[in-house]
Amino acid sequence: MEKLSKYKKQIFAFITIFLLLEFGVYPCLTMANTFANIIGAVALLLLVLWGGLSLYEYVKSSDGFVDRNELNAAEKQWKEHVQKQMEAMNEINKQKKSKQKSTNKSEFPIESHSKTVKKSLNKKTK
């Protein structure tokens, strides 16, 4: 809810501009009446101007489109996530190495299987 209250003015402007475009400007521009077309074009120009000014005001009041605190928090969370993933991968690699040492099997089980298949084929063909 904090995010909504923080951006309440921008949300209100976006919804208002959308509704005016949908139910005011678009019907005026698609009418067969020239006067309505002119009114629609002027309204469209005013809405574009209003949208540009509200966007400029938002960018001017903040540090840009991205809040620096949010960006730093996201970067910190990403680094923590990557660190956890690397720790998990290291643990899996340690388990694999200990399994290989305990089983004393070939590193490539396909080769050992292919050798047994070749032996069985040789016995069948003889």
Judged by DSSP in three states, 21 sits in helix
Give pTM, 2 decimals: 0.46
Highest-pLDDT range among 45-54, 92-101, 117-126: 45-54
Q: Where are the domains of the chain?
A: 1-65, 66-102
What does DSSP assign to residue 23? I
pLDDT, tens digit, 9 for 90 and up, residues 26-63? 998 899 999 999 999 999 999 999 988 888 887 777 66
Element (H, E) at 51: helix 34-61
